[in-house]
Structure 1
Amino acid sequence: MTKRWRALSLGAVGLMLATASLASAGTATAQGESTTGVTAPTANATCTQPTSQPARGLPLAWHDEFSGRSLDTSRWSTVMDFPGRAGGHYHNTSYGSYAVDENVVLSRGRLRLIADNKPVVGTDPAGTYQYTEGFISSHDKFFQAYGYWEICAKFPTGKGLWPAFWLIPQDRSWPPEIDVAEWFGSIEGMHSGLASGNWPDVRWDSNWSYGLTPTTGWHKYGVLWSPGRITFFTDGAPTYTVTGDQVPTKPMYIVLNSGTWANPDRGGPPDATTPFPNSFDIDYVRVYRAK
């Protein structure tokens, strides 16, 4: 995510693809009820439509339909375990919230990542944080290079909100980073893009898509990644393409979170007009393997 990290730690793991036992992707069913004070998401037609065009013909590699009563910990972790993090908080002046497990909720066949203005005492770094968020990642559980990644989601609206769907390297290096869908709650535009290069000389290829309603309707957000080429999609239609040597080659894992923005740019931080609690709602996550 743009300008997210300032402190980096480097690690290395083999560039192997994770494998998983897969069932066919189905329609999410109603399970559980939210107790967070956020209105539960309603059923929608967009997420039950046929497979998006970019994924047609590609084998399904991994997915979660969120049809259980709790998060599937064989697929996801709620631990921030990547460069630039400490405990439940990012080492970055842009970031304003602390990740807590209670903000990760399954309700009516949806994943709900809650953002709230309930102060929390955090550790590493120690301190009191004004905002909390929901955070999950597939680190060490699923990662691959090349293919098609997609979510069907509904984003929250409000000043200072910063929910996102993004990919970062399994080997814990940075850059690269692929921002599939990044929403700043009071700016009318969905951001997608790629960070590449070597720290601190980071290159940003970015795009803002306008004309859709990510906060009032459900939409599919995806990225098709092949050697030397990345194309971003909304509802199966291409919105932005990056080509060249900056396209990553490392296997990456998935991050979904409902953060808050802390800087004065990009709409500024939350204020009295920001509705809390709010949620970033995801119907499914599906990943297809490249042929």
Structure 2
Amino acid sequence: MDRRRFLRRSGIAVGTLGALATVSGTDRASAQSDPAPGGPPDGDEWAVSFEDTFDAGSLDTETWEIGWGWGRGTTTSNTQIVPENVRVSDGRLRFVGTHDGPEVRSGAVNTQDTVTFGPGSYLEARIRFADRMGFHNAFWSKPNDETWPPEIDVVEQWHSDRTVEPARHSHHHLHYSSSTEPGDDSSYEDVGVAYEPGDDVTENFHVYGVEWRTDRIVHYVDGEPVRRWTDPTVLRAMERGAPFYLMLNLNINSVGTADLDEEWGEEMVVDWVRLWEPGEQADDGHYFWVRSPGDQPAKFAFRVAGGTVELDATDTDVDYWVAEDGTVGGGTVTRASSLPGFRYDGDLVDFNYRGDVEVFIDDSRRDPEALVDESTPGPPLL
């Protein structure tokens, strides 16, 4: 799939006006005093295609429109987006939650028809969330033509009376239709995970990112992978909805209820936003990934020449292996929604498998049978 079909490139902004698993990050210094620099994994393989650091002193209205993509009101709450609650100061974008009696006001911006993206992208922002009961912070995206589902929530943070330690968790979700048909809410599904970075996300900035590839979607916080999604139904549904546009907003009363008897003024603060696309890559660096589309596990193995194989995983809870000399890798693959892949350099010279498999190399789907070369020197792979 041609990456450039999905990305409308914009230069650096110069501005004119479900039951969830919880993942914990490692202890680290405050993101305020030691900010994570951001950027995708293997950063030398990517290039920034859009960036806004909000240093111009006002909102770049050639890129951002105030409101959600569909307007300034929403069916999920009584919040109205108003320009005065969208502010740019001190090099940061701010959304302020206020009310005048029962009239609830807040801020939101979107890039519909200006900055859009799809598979082959890394999207990220550095954010500090507003902390108040009923405040729902979000950095998310949906199809540019306004169909729904699907939806990618890079990050959300909310505070309701049923949320456990809301200031210490962020939430990362994918919304999709199991039919994979964009706009089919009759088969709507939601997968997500709660993440605990180790401090108060309403007091400290963190970098929230999502890597969208043809064969996987990975959520990140401060460069740490939170969850890898590889279910073929999810990926197909997302791909069929592309291109997506970006949204940042502070919704109020969509989750929980804010107290109208108190004065508000808390802010969701955005330090910067970036969108990356693959840049020039070395000819010998590749990513190899396998899954089984069926109900039965399958086995696979592959050999490289002129290079080595490395398992791309932070844990070892998979039935994968790499040979001692580093030239052969393989394992048992299932239809699980979170399987790692392999990185390798050199040339893939042989592949073997037992069972039903789907193979991706550098985000392109490959015919597994075309990779088999039994004449390659070396011991049998399986």
Q: Distance in 2 between matches of 1:270 and 1:137?
A: 24
| Aligned residue in 2 for 1:237 | 224
* Structure of greater Rg: 2
Q: CA RMSD in A?
A: 2.4
Report how far residue 88 of structure 1 moved. Answer: 1.8
Residue 158 of structure 1 contacts residue 274 of structure 1 at CA under 8 Å; is this kept in 2? Answer: no
Relative distance call for 1:219 and 1:273 in structure 2 (3 A) is farther
Of residues 159, 167, 170 in structure 2, which corresponds to 1:190? 170
Q: How does 1:1-291 map to 2 (within 5 A)?
A: 16-22=6-12, 44-47=32-35, 49-54=36-41, 56-57=43-44, 58-82=46-70, 87-92=71-76, 95-119=77-101, 130-146=103-119, 147-186=121-160, 187=163, 188=166, 189-197=169-177, 198-210=184-196, 211-244=198-231, 245-247=233-235, 248-249=238-239, 250-262=242-254, 268-271=256-259, 276-290=264-278
TM-score, normalised with respect to structure 2: 0.58
2:113 and 2:123 map into 1 onto residues whose CA distance is: 17
Q: Is the 8 A contact 2:141 2:153 kept in 1?
A: yes
Unaligned runs of 5+ in 2: 15-30, 178-183, 280-382
In the TM superposition, what is the alpha-carbon distance from 1:15 to its structure 2 partner?
A: 5.3
One-letter identity of the residue aligned with 2:270: I
| Structure 2 partner of 1:126 | none
Structure 1 residues 45, 286: closer, same or farther in 2, change over 3 A? farther
Distance (whole Å) between structure 1 residues aligned to residue 52 and residue 12 of structure 2: 10
Aligned to 1:125: none
Check the 8 A contact 1:52/1:235 in 2, yes or no.
Answer: no
Instruction: Work out the CA distance in 1 between the residues paired with 2:192 and 2:273.
Output: 23
How many residue pairs get aligned? The number is: 240
Residues in 2 aligned to 1:108 and 1:62: alpha-carbon distance in whole angstroms: 21
**1: CA distance between counterparts of 2:32 and 2:195?**
22
Structure 1 stretches of 5 or more lacking a match?
1-13, 26-42, 120-128
* Other structure's SS at 1:89 match: coil
Gap change, CA 1:159 and 1:54, over 3 Å in 2: same
| Contact preservation (8 Å) 1:152, 1:282 | yes
List, as ranges, runs of 4+ consecutive aligned residues in structure 1 with deviation greater than 2 Å: 14-17, 43-47, 49-55, 79-82, 185-189, 272-275
SS across alignment from 2:88? strand
CA gap of 1:179–1:162, structure 2 versus 1, over 3 A, is same
**Residue of structure 1 in register with 2:337 after alignment:** none
Between the aligned partners of 1:44 and 1:209, the Cα distance in structure 2 is 18
Q: 1:55 to 1:62 in 2, by over 3 A?
A: farther
Q: CA deviation at 1:44?
A: 3.9
Q: Taking structure 1 as reference, are residues 191 and 50 closer, same or farther at Cα in structure 2, changes over 3 Å only?
A: closer
Say whether the 8 Å CA contact 1:46–1:218 is kept in structure 2: no
> Is the CA contact (8 Å cut-off) linking 1:134 and 1:257 kept in structure 2?
yes
Report how far residue 274 of structure 1 moved.
6.3
Normalized per residue, which structure has more helix?
2
Higher relative contact order (CA 8 A, sep 6+): 1
Amino acid at match of 1:251: P
CA distance in 1, matches of 2:64, 2:72: 16
Q: How far does residue 46 in structure 1 lie from its aligned partner after superposition?
A: 4.2
Query: Which residue identity does 2:132 align to in structure 1?
Result: G
Q: State the distance in 2 between where 1:260 and 1:109 align.
A: 25
Q: Which moved more, 1:235-244 or 1:174-183?
A: 235-244
Deviation at residue 81 of structure 1 after TM alignment: 3.1
Q: Secondary structure at the match of 2:116?
A: coil
- Give 1:214's aligned amino acid: V
| Aligned partner of residue 249 in structure 2, secondary structure | strand
Cα offset, 1:290, TM superposition? 3.3
* Structure 2 Cα separation of the partners of residues 273 and 215 of structure 1: 22
Letter in 2 for 1:100: V
1:78, 1:101 within 8 Å by CA — same for their partners in 2? yes
CA deviation vs aligned residue, 1:205-259 (integer Å, no higher than 9, x gap):
1111124421111111111110131111111101112112212111111100011
Q: Is the 8 A contact 1:100 1:133 kept in 2?
A: yes
